[in-house]
Amino acid sequence: MDPLPRSADVVIIGGGIMGVSTAYNLVKRGVKDVVVIEKDEFFGEESTGKCAGGIRYQFSSKVNIELSKLSIPIFERFKEEFDQDIDLNFCGYLFILGTEEYVEDFKKRVALQRSLGVETQWLTPDEIHKKVPLMNMEGILAGTFHHKDGLADPSSVVQGYVRQAHRLGAKLVTKTRVTGIRVEKGKITAVETDQGDVSTGIVVNATGAWSREIGKMVGVNIPIDPYRRQITVTAPLEEIPPDLPMVVEFPNGLYFHRESGGLLTGMSNPNEPPSFNTAVDPDWMMVNLEALVHRLPVAEKAGIRTSWAGLYEVTPDAHPIMGKMPEPEGFYCVAGFSGHGFMHGPGAGILMAEEILDGRAHTVNIDRLRYERFLEPGAIERMEAERGVI
């Protein structure tokens, strides 16, 4: 979009939801010399553009619920604030539970959610069947539902941020690859790219699955690994009701929701190794579709319209890394959301602007998410992970 400038107050590496949301919130607060550098031709092409578009309050940790409470109201007013329709659909998330272990775990989650003002419903099998009559109820013991969970279009959200950030003065650069970050006497001084260097004292690593590679440029090990996740969309099925919620099954991780009159479905492969591979695995697609047909038998009638794969950016505790890094001076990170980055992107941008401009995020306490949590010996083994990863 813009030519690469030779200097900037803040350089943001990565043009997905995290990068463009952070840029928008910085320029909204008056920082004019903000540059977003994206390696691809368009913004939001990688993990953001390849996700299922879900937004939800139903998490197992307080900080993720608070991030949802900050972000989802922004989706609600997005059309007015950004002049951009995002196909917002509060169809709800319906979690269905197939083991006593998950039933007990979700009881604790619901109690936490309610204590934070999120009125999640607890559902019996009969209530679940009434909500989704087409579903095979075999093995379902209970479920949860929240009516203000739902879906939005990731590409539209990114474009809304890009357009408004640009209008307010941010420089947004595509087809430019960062090749290094220059550090002198413990301070960042420049970002090196294949299109030239940008002098700056602040760099935000918003590269998601590629965050570890950016960290290596300044000698920091960022514990974020890429994992392939894939999605299949069926041809339209007249039986699929327009009010079908996003259904998520535990323990197998199957999920599906209505998409263009058909179904969008995915399921995490527990044996998937970390890699940057984004080729569709046809064998796992069949495992996914078999699980879908078992749970929603009408899906057997549907043809396949398309499939794609993207990358989850996963940390050891499935919580993101946010805020100022201990070193070098001027280095910040907002990445590692472990599959829920799109839905928390609007809030994360606000918090990163606070972190940079005010010295500390204050709308939500992000101390739980700081990089320093990984530095103590044995810290990873003691961490309580977010259990709501799909």
Q: What is the pLDDT of residues 22-38, one digit of tens each?
A: 999 999 999 989 999 99
Whether residue 324 lies inside any domain: the answer is: yes
Last residue of a domain, one of 284, 314, 344: 314
Q: What's the number of domains the chain is made of? A: 2
Residues 241 and 352 both lie in one domain: no
Contact indicator for 224, 278 with CB cutoff of 8 Å: no
The yes-or-no verdict on residue 378 having pLDDT over 80 is no
Residues 185 and 217 both lie in one domain: yes
H helical segments located in the chain? 17-28, 62-76, 78-82, 100-115, 125-131, 154-167, 211-216, 282-295, 341-357, 379-382
What letter does residue 367 receive in the DSSP assignment?
Answer: G
Indicate the residue type of 137.
M
Tokens for 122, please give them: 């607890």
C-beta neighbour count of 129 within 10 angstroms:
16
Is the bond preceding residue 251 a cis peptide, omega within 30 degrees? yes
Whether residue 45 lies inside any domain: the answer is: yes
Q: What is the pTM of this model?
A: 0.96
Return the pLDDT at 380: 66
- Measure the CA–CA gap between 98 and 108, rounded to whole angstroms: 16
Whether residue 55 lies inside any domain: the answer is: no
Whether residue 4 lies inside any domain: the answer is: no
The residue range of the domain holding 21 is 10-50+155-224+317-382
Residues 180 and 211 both lie in one domain: yes
Residues 241 and 307 both lie in one domain: yes
Q: Checking DSSP bridges between strand 10-13 and strand 203-205, what pairing results, if any?
A: parallel
CA atoms within 13 A on the CB side of 259: 26
Contact indicator for 263, 302 with CB cutoff of 8 Å: yes
Is residue 104 classed exposed, middle or buried when 0-12, 13-18 and 19+ CB atoms within 10 A define those classes? exposed
Taking only the tens place, the pLDDT of each residue in 89-134 is 999 999 999 999 999 999 999 999 999 999 999 999 999 999 999 9
The yes-or-no verdict on residue 376 having pLDDT over 90 is no
Per-position b or e across 367-384, b if 16+ CB within 10 A of its CB: ebbbbebbeeeeeeeeee
- Measure the CA–CA gap between 96 and 245, rounded to whole angstroms: 12
Whether residue 116 lies inside any domain: the answer is: yes
User: How large is the average pLDDT for residues 204-210?
Assistant: 98
CA distances from 204 to 22, 174, 254, 304, 363 (A): 9, 16, 34, 39, 19
Residues 310 and 353 both lie in one domain: no
Taking only the tens place, the pLDDT of each residue in 267-299 is 999 999 999 999 999 999 999 999 999 999 999
Residues 172 and 218 both lie in one domain: yes
- The CATH number of the domain holding residue 324 is 3.50.50.60
Residues 231 and 308 both lie in one domain: yes
Residues 356 and 208 both lie in one domain: yes
Last residue of a domain, one of 314, 333, 366: 314
